[in-house]
Amino acid sequence: MKKYGFIGYGNMGKMIVENILNLKIFYPNEMIISNRTLSKLNKLKKDYPDITITDDNTYLAKNCDKIFIFVETPEFKDLIFQISPFLTDDSHIVHVCAGLSFENINSFYKGSVSQVIPSIVSTFNNYHNESININNNEDVDNIHNIDNNSDIGSNDTFNCFKNACNNKLGISLILHSNNTSNTDKCLIEEIFNEFSYIQIIDDFELSNDENNDRAVEIATILTSCAPAFISLIIDNLVSIANLKSKNKINVDEAKYIVVKTFLSTFIQIDTDNLCTSDIIDKTSTKKGITEIGLNYLDKNSNELINDLFDLLLERYDEVKSELNKNYS
Ligand SMILES: NC(=O)c1ccc[n+]([C@@H]2O[C@H](COP(=O)([O-])OP(=O)(O)OC[C@H]3O[C@@H](n4cnc5c(N)ncnc54)[C@H](OP(=O)(O)O)[C@@H]3O)[C@@H](O)[C@H]2O)c1
């Protein structure tokens, strides 16, 4: 029986493989994991002795029809050349390589391909797993139910958030090539739907509209890059709060305050308990401190965010033109 193959065990590969194992989506004995540096897989093999590990991608390709590729984008081309002689009509390639288009791949591999743009915030480790039962279909309501519990511990904000999110974290964008079968599409969507919200960009290939590319790039910035941007904003808030308070609010306290406030704001917005305009209205009084801050941020952040998008989209164009040259 063919197994499920996973090539590349870095940030993305490790996260997705661990999610699949933690959530028991596949049995370990159904999975082959390959990484260039084999020693990186030792711990995985120790934790899951039934899993097959290798640094031989051709062995994996001979034994797997459904192959997930998590290598860095520049490595993809050599890898697909290496494994394509072993791929069959039943093969399906799923890759996460940013910037790589179906056209790029189609110039030398004609089989069915899906692209998933995952987000590091979909990490679903054992700690999360302990506090939920994924097979439990009980509809856990939102923050209101949990608020009834007077005994709120330090993990409860996180649990509220998880419950509000139906035990899913992050967004995975999914694109399928035209020749992908419905069965293959469903499999990929179901896997990522177990641990993240999925957004399927299904009419992507129907037209050669450049705006479609742009929409995918902008969605990628919002889902895949944004966790890093949000983390940087938190770090800056924390260090400036620490500095301005002359260390009266230490870094750990500042981080606790900032993260709990962000998380609680997101829960309110996500559950529709309060919308963004409600929060703005209810927080600001005329000429009060918040209103002054809002006016300042509104004026300056629009320009900053606009420039940020321009900068990133410019970089996308450079990457695409390098890839187009390399794949022509
Ligand atoms: N990080 C993110 O948040 C994110 C989000 C969305 C998409 N992506 C995309 O995901 C892809 C991977 O990113 P990453 O951050 O996970 O990279 P990474 O941490 O550098 O991991 C890449 C892994 O692939 C392995 N590898 C490279 N070539 C190989 C080959 N020929 N055979 C077997 N294994 C090979 C590397 O092995 P070694 O151990 O030998 O280095 C490494 O473990 C990129 O294309 C990126 O665009 C990343």
Confidence label for 138 from pLDDT (cuts 50, 70 and 90): very low
Whether 30 maps to a domain, the answer reads: yes
Q: Whose CA is nearest to atom 36 of ligand 1?
A: 8
Selection from 235, 221, 194, 247 nearest residue 309 by Cα: 221
The reply to whether 266 and 295 lie within a common domain is yes
The reply to whether 176 and 251 lie within a common domain is no
Whether 144 maps to a domain, the answer reads: no
Whether 103 maps to a domain, the answer reads: yes
SS3 of residue 174 by DSSP: strand
What whole-number percentage of the chain has pLDDT above 90?
A: 77
Whether 76 maps to a domain, the answer reads: yes
Does residue 168 have its Cβ closer than 6 Å to ligand 1?
no
Cα(221)–Cα(230) distance, integer angstroms? 12
C-alpha 310 to ligand 1 mean position (Å): 26
Which DSSP state fits 88? -
The structural domain count of the chain equals: 2
Total length of the chain: 328
Whether 47 maps to a domain, the answer reads: yes
For a ligand 1 pocket test, name from 59, 67, 70 the mutation site with the most ligand atoms within 8 angstroms of its C-beta.
Answer: 70
Cα(154)–Cα(133) distance, integer angstroms? 20
The reply to whether 57 and 104 lie within a common domain is yes
Q: What is the CATH number of the domain that holds 44?
A: 3.40.50.720
DSSP annotation string for 258-306:
HHHHHHHHHHHHHTTSS-HHHHHHHH--TTSHHHHHHHHHHHHHHHHHH
The reply to whether 250 and 107 lie within a common domain is no
Domain range holding 101?
A: 3-124+169-206
> What pLDDT, on the 0 to 100 scale, is given for residue 146?
25
Cα(128)–Cα(106) distance, integer angstroms? 39
The reply to whether 183 and 269 lie within a common domain is no
User: Pairing mode, if any, of strands 3-7 and 52-54?
Assistant: unpaired
Does residue 60 have its Cβ closer than 6 Å to ligand 1?
no
The reply to whether 248 and 303 lie within a common domain is yes
265 exposure class (CB count in 10 Å sphere: 0-12, 13-18, 19+):
middle
> What pLDDT, on the 0 to 100 scale, is given for residue 203?
54
Q: What is the mean pLDDT of residues 231-241?
A: 98
Inter-residue contact 319 to 217 (CB < 8 Å) = no
The reply to whether 232 and 118 lie within a common domain is no
Non-local (6+) Cβ contacts of 222 within 8 A are: 171
Q: Edge-to-edge strands of the sheet including 112-117?
A: 52-54, 31-34, 3-7, 64-69, 92-95, 112-117, 171-176, 197-200
Whether 246 maps to a domain, the answer reads: yes
Confidence label for 139 from pLDDT (cuts 50, 70 and 90): very low
Q: What is the mean pLDDT of residues 181-206?
A: 87
> What pLDDT, on the 0 to 100 scale, is given for residue 136?
37
> What pLDDT, on the 0 to 100 scale, is given for residue 208?
58
Among the three residues 183, 206, 229, which one is the final residue of a domain in this structure?
Answer: 206
Q: What residue type is assigned to position 142 of the chain?
A: N
From 39-48, 100-109, 204-213, the region with the lowest mean pLDDT: 204-213
The reply to whether 198 and 296 lie within a common domain is no
Statement: the pTM of the whole predicted model exceeds 0.85: yes
Whether 153 maps to a domain, the answer reads: no
Q: What is the mean pLDDT of residues 263-274?
A: 95
Non-local (6+) Cβ contacts of 179 within 8 A are: 110, 111, 112
The reply to whether 271 and 178 lie within a common domain is no
Selection from 23, 32, 30, 5 nearest residue 190 by Cα: 23
> What pLDDT, on the 0 to 100 scale, is given for residue 108?
85
The reply to whether 113 and 245 lie within a common domain is no
Among the three residues 151, 179, 206, which one is the final residue of a domain in this structure?
Answer: 206
Q: What is the CATH number of the domain that holds 248?
A: 1.10.3730
> What pLDDT, on the 0 to 100 scale, is given for residue 125?
72
C-alpha 76 to ligand 1 mean position (Å): 10
**pLDDT at residue 228 greater than cutoff 90:** yes
> pLDDT tens digit string along 152-182?
334 555 555 555 566 799 999 999 999 999 9
**pLDDT at residue 253 greater than cutoff 70:** yes
Cα(214)–Cα(223) distance, integer angstroms? 14
For a ligand 1 pocket test, name from 11, 38, 220 the mutation site with the most ligand atoms within 8 angstroms of its C-beta.
Answer: 11
Q: What residue type is assigned to position 152 of the chain?
A: I
Confidence label for 126 from pLDDT (cuts 50, 70 and 90): low
The reply to whether 92 and 31 lie within a common domain is yes
**pLDDT at residue 134 greater than cutoff 60:** no
Could you give the residue ranges of the DSSP H alpha helices within the chain?
A: 11-22, 42-47, 57-63, 76-83, 102-106, 126-130, 143-147, 156-164, 182-195, 210-220, 226-244, 251-270, 276-283, 289-327
Average pLDDT of every residue of the chain = 87
> What pLDDT, on the 0 to 100 scale, is given for residue 209?
65
The reply to whether 186 and 245 lie within a common domain is no
Does residue 99 have its Cβ closer than 6 Å to ligand 1?
no
Whether 154 maps to a domain, the answer reads: no
> pLDDT tens digit string along 47-70?
999 999 999 999 999 999 999 999
C-alpha 13 to ligand 1 mean position (Å): 7
